[in-house]
């Protein structure tokens, strides 16, 4: 009976460790999509809303996940990191592939035309929050009290911020900008 209870608690903790960061990142994406469609939310245009609301939610995700993951064994943290990172990689890669209508100077005839490159960018996108949460969990294990929360969130946010720029760099490397217009002499 005791072993069953411990195993079911472990399964619940593992599910929470995966679902919580995915829910937070989904919320950030939903807020971005809404602001992108509406253009303005209150007095904020979509760029201001993105930097003031969407990005802080995304950057808080590794810290929140790090606090949850710090209760897991190292193996379970690695499992959570791979599941969260893999899920984000696949979803962001497919969304990117669906959003591209031109590669180089040629129109895309199917969303699968650029899927390999989109998934490569997706891997970098997924690595940011996963690595951030994994490192943040390690920080949480080494600190206590209020310092634990602050250090965990700061670590996750910094790695998430670096992850954002790594994703932008990956996009630029895999989808270099080309000038397709003819230039008159």
Q: Could you write out the three-class secondary structure of the chain?
A: CHHHHHHHHHHHHHHHHHHHHHHHHHHHHHHHHHHHHHCEECCEEHHHHHHHHHHHHHHHHHHHHHHHHCCCCHHHHHHHHHHHHHHHHHHHHHHHHHHCCEECCEECCCCCCCHHHHHHHHHHHHHHHHHHHHHHHHHHHHCCHHHHHHHHHHHHHHHHHHHHHHHHHHHHHHCCCCCCCCCCC
66-108 pLDDT, tens digit each: 999 999 999 999 999 999 999 999 999 999 998 887 776 777 7
Question: In this prediction, what percent of the chain has a pLDDT beyond 70?
Answer: 91
Q: Is the pLDDT of residue 120 over 60?
A: yes
């Amino acid at each position: 009976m005791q072993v069953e209870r411990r195993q079911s608690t472990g399964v619940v903790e593992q599910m929470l460790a995966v679902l919580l960061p995915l829910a937070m990142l989904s919320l950030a994406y939903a807020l971005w999509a809404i602001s992108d469609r509406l253009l303005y939310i209150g007095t904020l245009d979509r760029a201001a809303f993105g930097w003031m609301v969407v990005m802080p939610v995304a950057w808080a995700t590794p810290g929140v996940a790090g606090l949850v993951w710090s209760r897991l064994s190292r193996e379970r943290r690695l499992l959570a990191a791979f599941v969260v990172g893999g899920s984000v990689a696949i979803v962001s890669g497919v969304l990117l592939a669906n959003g591209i209508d031109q590669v180089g100077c040629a129109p895309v005839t199917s969303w699968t035309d650029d899927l390999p490159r989109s998934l490569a960018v997706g891997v970098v996108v997924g690595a940011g929050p996963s690595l951030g949460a994994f490192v943040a969990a390690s920080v949480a294990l080494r600190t206590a009290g209020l310092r634990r929360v602050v250090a965990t969130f700061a670590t996750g946010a910094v790695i998430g911020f670096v992850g954002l720029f790594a994703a932008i760099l990956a996009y630029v490397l895999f989808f270099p900008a080309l000038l397709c217009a003819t230039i008159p002499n």
